Every structure is written in structure tokens, then in C-alpha cells.
Amino acid sequence: MSGPTVVVTPATFTLVDYDAERIAALVSEAAGWVGFDEADEIRMEIAEQMPTSQVSIVSVQPLVLAVEGGAFEDLKRPRKLSEVSVQTVAVRILARIGDRRRDGFGDAPAEGDLTVDQTDAWDAWALGRAAARGLAVAQPRWRYRFRNRHGFTDTADRVFDRLWAASDLTWEDLRAACAETAAARLAAAS
């Protein structure tokens, strides 16, 4: 399966050492990992002058993402592109958009209505799927982030492992995972 067409703006970067064609290829591959195909088109509007790392969905139809330049930056080499960061950002955002097009996600809240816990659970599942396809993501970093949101408990670790290894879930599965870690946090606080 090949990935979608990805159009990157600007076509030429002047403030950072990024390559629009390489970004397009990386995003297309990552999008394929989470269910997009050649019938889809993704537009990436990159604000190279922004050293911060905010990413937002501008539009779903057509699919347009606004990306601040720092989101794709190699943290050890300022102003250089990190291929892993490009694909990590793409997977996290595109999985939520793509999953909502599948059966089992009709009840999922809109992007802006997701809680931090729900977003992190969805990220763990998305990144686990991408890691199984070849993304060299630092799983311990995402486990630590998950623990910060879901608690430093054995339950949170088990839930993270389950999400990371899952190939097919529904919104109810993600919601139940968050409820499970919330119950463990309450029990630990008692």
C-alpha cells in the first residue's frame, strides 16, 4: 500500500535546513501506517520562522495541518530536520483523523474536546502501530509521558503496554483504558 499525496508549503525553506520533498515522503509513509492511502491528500503548512512545536488541524476536508517549524527540528542540531520527529508528529495527528473515519470511532469527541489522558492514550496506540511498521520512536519517552498523565502505577504500565501492542482498537477501548488508569490513580491516592 502506498501513502497519500502530501503537499508541503513552503516548497523551499530559507530559515531552516528542511527539504519539502523529504518531508512529503516521510509524512506519506507515516500516514500509510495509520490508514491513509493514495486516494488521500494531505497539505502541510509549515511556519519555518516559528521555533516552537505546535501542530494544529486547520481543516479536515481538505486535510490541512499547520505545523510550527520547531516540531520537525532535530533537538541536537538546531535548524536541521529530524526525520523521526516528522514521522512522530505526523503519526500522532493523522492517527486521530484517520481512526475517526473507521467504524468504532463514531462516539469519539472532537479533537478540541479530548482530555489530555485521552490524547496520550491515543498517542500511545498510534506510536505503537508506527513502531511496529518501522518508526524508530523512543518508547521509554512516551511511556514516561503516559505515566505523567495516567499515574505512576503498575496499572498504567500494563495499560500502556496493551495500547502500544494493539493493532486494532475502538474509541470505547481507548475510553476504557483511561477509566482503568483513573481508577488506579484513585485507589493509589486512598
Is residue 76 included in any domain, yes or no? yes
What single DSSP character describes residue 35? T
Give residue-wise pLDDT tens across range 96-155. Answer: 999 999 899 999 999 999 999 999 999 999 999 999 999 999 999 999 999 999 999 999
* Burial of residue 20 (number of CB atoms within 10 Å: 0-12, 13-18, 19+): middle
Is residue 105 included in any domain, yes or no? no
Is residue 130 included in any domain, yes or no? yes
Q: Are residues 116 and 185 in the same domain?
A: yes
Is residue 68 included in any domain, yes or no? yes
Q: Are residues 9 and 92 in the same domain?
A: yes
Query: Is the pLDDT assigned to residue 1 strictly greater than 80?
Result: no
Give CA–CA dist 79/180, Å, rounded: 41
Q: Among residues 44, 76, 100, which one ends one of the domains? A: 100
According to the model, what pLDDT value does residue 88 have? 95
Query: What whole-number percentage of the chain has pLDDT above 70?
Result: 99
Q: Which residue has the cell 497519500?
A: 4
What single DSSP character describes residue 82? -
The whole domain housing 179 covers: 111-189
Give residue-wise pLDDT tens across range 55-86. Answer: 999 998 889 999 999 999 998 998 999 999 99
Give CA–CA dist 120/127, Å, rounded: 10
Q: Has this prediction a pTM greater than 0.85?
A: yes
User: φ and ψ at 80, to 5 degrees?
Assistant: -105, 150
According to the model, what pLDDT value does residue 4 have? 93
